[in-house]
Amino acid sequence: MSKNHAEVVVVTGAGAGLGRAIAQAFGKRGARVGLLSRSQERLEAARREIEAMGGQGLVLPADVADADAVEAAAAKVEQTFGPIDIWVNNAMASVFSPAREMTPDEYKRVTEVTYLGVVYGTLSALRRMLPRDRGTIVQVGSALAYRSIPLQSAYCAAKHAIVGFTDSLRCELIHDNSHVRLTVVHMPALNTPQFDWVKSRLPRKPQPVPPIFQPEVGAEAVYWAAHHDRREMLVGWPTVEAVWGQKFIPGWLDRYLGRTGYDAQQYDGLADPNRPNNLWEPVPGPYSAHGDFDSRARAFSSEVWLTTHRGWVAAAAASLAGLALVALKRR
């Protein structure tokens, strides 16, 4: 893609973790990327990475829970780079805690960031895309949008809400014959820094529920979904299992997760009860895309490969079926 026709992309939660990896995925392909999160320090680092890859970055310090700040960031992107082609809603917050120990303010904050941040980002994107009748909005979902787990009730509820909001909006876009495209990419457990800073009341250190994937697996899925007409994309076989398990055996999963879901989200000794968390303010530090689980994280997903190459897979299957039929006729 030439620099004169480079895609203009906005990524929320771009300072670290999956958002940082998504920004890199677009940046290395020459995109102009608006980088939105609360930490100026990490956004500046993300911008330098993108520009070293051949793209362009624009630092936009903002809290996605502030609708006015999100709208101002969108305006700044278009003022600097031109019309927004792709908007990726990725920012999130969580609290690891039994529901009985959660506070109303914690539920409110997680909902404002993880759910309403998506709503605000989507509305800002639509204000610009609908009059032009083009553009793509990518919602970063989760396996937990379909199958909740214990100790993350606020986050799971917010991810469920994203699906409800997106499905409703998709119907409206179809009714209006709009060419603005909407897609959701549901993630498995990823090796990101969120487990270093998430607010937690767990006795041991929090971890993603294994199997764990590197954030680049999710980032490449987001890039692919942004350029292909797919309603939803399930990243990694564990996400497929969660979605289909919830359809057919939800009661069994309730009991299974009641027995295993606490231990699966903890590892490696006692947690520091005084460690800082990012629920209200960003935690300082040079965090990047990866967390502490590189030795256990997978850099490849066969399920994602099959999804993104299903035309080839179908052709190969048809060829094999044809060869088998010929062999049977000869026999």
Alpha helices in the chain (DSSP H): 17-27, 40-53, 67-81, 104-110, 117-132, 153-175, 194-197, 215-226, 237-248, 250-264, 302-308, 310-330
CA–CA distance, 207 with 195 (Å, rounded to integer):
6
Are 44 and 21 in contact by the 8 Å Cβ rule? The answer is: no
Q: How big is the CA angle at 249 (ends 248 and 252), to the nearest 5 degrees?
A: 180
Listed residue (288, 157, 295, 136) closest to 224, CA to CA: 136
Listed residue (274, 275, 273) closest to 284, CA to CA: 275
Query: Exposed (0-12), middle (13-18) or buried (19+): which is 118, by Cβ within 10 Å?
Result: buried
> 10 Å Cβ neighbour count for 204?
15
Which residues are catalytic, by number? 155
Q: What is the DSSP string of 58-93?
A: EEEE--TT-HHHHHHHHHHHHHHH-S--EEEE----
Residue 330 in tokens: 């000869």
87, β-bridge pairs: 10, 137
CA–CA distance, 136 with 264 (Å, rounded to integer):
36
> 10 Å Cβ neighbour count for 90?
30
Going from the C-alpha of 169 to that of each of 26, 67, 180, the distances in angstroms are 25, 18, 11
